[in-house]
Amino acid sequence: MVVVMAPEATAKNVDAIVGLVRGAGGDAFVSRGVSRTIVGLVGDIEQFHALNLHTMSGVLDVVRISVPYKLISRENHPDRSVVWVGGVPVGPGTLTVIAGPCAVETPCQALRAARMAKAAGAALLRGGAYKPRTSPYAFQGLGERGLQILAEARAETGLPVVTEVVDAKDVDLVASYADMLQIGTRNMQNFALLQAAGSLGKPVLLKRGMNATIEEWLMAAEYIAQRGNLDIVLCERGIRTFETATRNTLDISAVPLAQRLSHLPVIVDPSHSGGHRELVLPLSRAAIAVGADGIIVDVHPNPETALCDGAQALVDGDIRELASLVQHIPPVIGRTLTPAPEPLPVA
Ligand code: PEP
Ligand code: MN
């Protein structure tokens, strides 16, 4: 932390800061420039906050140098992390594809979507059993029955399951079926949910709030980490802007920025950001090229009848192209596609 003194600050003002900081157990180093004096503080930043230095005479500004998140920051952990999901890695060096239906609707629909996901090169299966819908009249998901269907699809395809939890009270139930818990854009700052997910031993996919800054997103991840769970994958899924031609605006620069600030893997959701089928493959290419550690893509065997987000679901005719791009682009930037695990043999 650095205290910037006003041009008219006196030596006494500077001494008062130094005395206060040293009295609080920290240290302070004064640097006198031609027109400005700054005081660099070393020690426990939270304790310095309590000193209210910005209210002291002669202080122009108090600037935080280290980032406010600690456990997930690259300052504390320079190497980028790999998060394992049911034996599947997500992180540097690989490109992990997660695909599946937006919502689980029927056993047949979910299974067909899971087969499409596998054919597209996915190593993980997505699908919502609890759907956080804007309208209370829209399909809210099948609940526990949906989780059972996902478990059946995992048994057939071998793909570990990523599924959303929307309420802290459901965390244990969802974790009993899922390999990874998703926290969606609308719940990114549901702190009780973040803490509940942080207390579990299951990896968490944390989507960026549609109105959240990168720092707010990383602070939300810190809530999970603070409870002892560092198996967190960040997902950029588009943010709200003035543009209405897309559902959300994919913030592609958030990917390298989040990767520079945090050691956690960062993936991209080209489906919920673009909101239109024809944008999903171009946005997937962009996400891989920018260095995302994975993509999460909606697929549906019959999107005209989908109960949720049919307009953005890839169809059978798109699968070959998705499979080709996730095979061919990663090697160009030094990554390899994460293979799908084999299904366990039926006893
Ligand atoms: C989803 O992935 O199904 C979903 C609801 O995404 P988001 O939270 O990004 O809208
Ligand atoms: Mn959706």
Percent of residues, the chain, with pLDDT higher than 90: 89
**43 or 333: which leads in pLDDT:** 333
Ligand nearest to the CA of 126: 1
Predicted pLDDT of residue 65: 80
Residue 103, pLDDT above cutoff 80 = yes
Predicted pLDDT of residue 64: 84
Predicted pLDDT of residue 6: 94
Q: Is the CB of 207 under 6 A from ligand 1?
A: yes
Predicted pLDDT of residue 221: 98
Q: Which two tokens stand for residue 172?
A: 């244990």
Q: Is the CB of 237 under 6 A from ligand 1?
A: yes
Q: What is the mean pLDDT of residues 215-242?
A: 97
CA 309 to ligand 2 center in whole angstroms:
5
In angstroms, the CA 346 to CA 117 distance is 21
User: Closest Cα to atom 10, ligand 1: which residue?
Assistant: 185
Q: What is the mean pLDDT of residues 310-324?
A: 98
Q: Is the CB of 102 under 6 A from ligand 1?
A: yes
pLDDT, one tens digit per residue, over 234-248 is 999 999 999 999 999
Predicted pLDDT of residue 182: 98
Q: Work out whether strand 37-42 and strand 2-5 pair parallel, antiparallel, or are unpaired.
A: antiparallel
Ligand nearest to the CA of 127: 1
State the closest ligand 1 atom to the C-alpha of 208, by its place in the atom list counted from 1: 9
Predicted pLDDT of residue 47: 85
In angstroms, the CA 223 to CA 334 distance is 32
In angstroms, the CA 126 to CA 103 distance is 9
Predicted pLDDT of residue 32: 85
Q: What is the mean pLDDT of residues 313-325?
A: 98
Residues with CB under 5 A from ligand 2 (ion): 102, 309
pLDDT, one tens digit per residue, over 133-188 is 999 999 999 999 999 999 999 999 999 999 999 999 999 999 999 999 999 999 99
With beta carbons less than 8 A apart as the criterion, state whether 295 and 329 touch.
no
Residue 55, pLDDT above cutoff 90 = yes
From 125, 174, 205, 237, give the residue whose CB has the most ligand 1 atoms within 8 Å, as the site to mutate.
Answer: 237
State the closest ligand 1 atom to the C-alpha of 185, by its place in the atom list counted from 1: 8
Q: Is the CB of 185 under 6 A from ligand 1?
A: yes
Of 49-53, 194-198, 236-240, 273-277, give the lowest mean pLDDT range: 49-53
State the closest ligand 1 atom to the C-alpha of 102, by its place in the atom list counted from 1: 3
Q: Is the CB of 272 under 6 A from ligand 1?
A: yes
**97 or 37: which leads in pLDDT:** 97
Predicted pLDDT of residue 283: 98
Predicted pLDDT of residue 30: 87
In angstroms, the CA 224 to CA 233 distance is 11
Ligand nearest to the CA of 247: 1
Predicted pLDDT of residue 46: 81
Predicted pLDDT of residue 31: 86
Residue 227, pLDDT above cutoff 80 = yes
Residue 347, pLDDT above cutoff 80 = no
Ligand nearest to the CA of 267: 1
**42 or 119: which leads in pLDDT:** 119
Q: How confident is the model at residue 42 (pLDDT cuts 50, 70, 90)?
A: confident
pLDDT, one tens digit per residue, over 244-281 is 999 999 999 999 999 999 999 999 999 999 999 999 99
Rounded mean pLDDT of the chain?
Answer: 96
Residue 232, pLDDT above cutoff 80 = yes
